[in-house]
Amino acid sequence: MYERDGYVVVPGVLDAERLAEARAEATAICRGERGTVDGVEPGDWPEDEVLRRYLCVHFPHKISPLLRKLAALPGLTEVLTEVIGPNVKMMQSMLFIKAAGKPGQAWHQDEAHIPTRDRSLTAAWIALDDATVDNGCLWVLPGSHRAGVLYPVRDHDDPRFDCTQEAHGFTEAFPDLAAVPVEVPAGTAVIFNGYLLHRSLPNTRRTGLRRALVNHYMSAESLLPWFPPTAGEPMARLDHRDVELVAGTDPYAHAGTADLMRPHIRRDREGGCVG
C-alpha cells in the first residue's frame, strides 16, 4: 500500500498513557514551561486559552525530552526502517495544536522544503486527538508521489490555509486521482512519502482541538543539503547535521552533530502573512 499510495496508517502507536503525556506536554510547551520558543509568551495561562494562542510549534523536540523519546518509539521505527532502510535519522519535528477556527495548510510536498539526495524523506503524522474532516484532518492525493516530480510553489491568499506556500500545477498530471481524507483515532500514525501531495483544512468545529505531532525522517546514508552552502563548500558534500538518529547507525557520525534549529511558532493568518 505504501509503494502504491504513498502512505500507510499505523494504529496504536501511542497508548492512552502516552497520549495523556503528549497532550500535557503540548500545554507545557505553549506556556513556555519547557524552554524558549520564539513567538511564545510564557505564562501560567489556563489550558483552554493557551492552546488557542498557537497553531504550530516547530522543533519542539529541542526542548522536550518526552517528544524526542516519542520520535523513536518502536511502533514508528519498525515501519520507518521498512520504508526507508535500516539507518534512519530525524531532522524536524512539529507540534500542531489547531484549535477551533484555526486554518489548515495548502497542498504541498515535504520534499520541496526538505530536500534529500535519495528521495528518502518520510513523515510520521501522529494524531493526539481524533482527526476528522470537520476538525481538519490530513488529506492526501494517493499515488502522487510515484512520479518523483516536485511541483512549483507560490504564495496564496486563501483564508482556509496558513501562511506557508501552496503547490500548484499538478492537477493536469493527476486527472484520475481524487483527494481522500485520512480520518484516524488518537494514537494513530500516518506514515507518508516526502513527494506525496497532501494538505489539511481548517478546524471548523466550534470547540475542541486537533493536536498532532509530526516528525520528518530520512535515510542516515543520505546527506541533507537543507540550506545553501557556505562560500567554497561544494554542494555535493553539503550536510545538515542537526539530526537525531532513531534507528541503526549513522555513516557520517564522525562529522558530529550541531544545534542549529531553534523552536518557533508557525504563522497563521492572524495579522496577515507579509513581514
Could you list the mean pLDDT of each consecutive 10-residue stretch along the chain, which spans 275 residues? 95 97 98 96 93 96 98 97 98 97 96 95 98 98 95 94 93 84 98 98 96 98 85 82 97 94 92 76
pLDDT recorded at residue 72: 97
Q: How far apart are CA 211 and CA 234, in angstroms?
A: 40
What is the phi/psi pair of residue 208, to 5°?
Answer: 100, 165
Buried residues in 256-272 as b, exposed as e (16+ CB within 10 A): eeeeebebebbbbbeee
pLDDT recorded at residue 204: 97
Q: How far apart are CA 115 and CA 223, in angstroms?
A: 10
pLDDT recorded at residue 176: 75
Cβ atoms of 101 and 94 within 8 Å: the answer is no
In this structure, whether the domain defined by 2-265 belongs to CATH 3.40.50.300 is answered with no
SS3 62: helix
pLDDT recorded at residue 275: 61
Q: How far apart are CA 160 and CA 255, in angstroms?
A: 43
pLDDT recorded at residue 229: 64
- Residue ranges in 65-206 assigned as alpha helix (H): 65-70, 74-83
Cell of 190: 500516518
Which residue carries 510547551 as its cell?
29
- Residue spans of the domains in the chain: they are 2-265
CA angle 260, 265, 268 (to 5 degrees): 140
pTM: 0.96
Rg (CA), the chain: 18
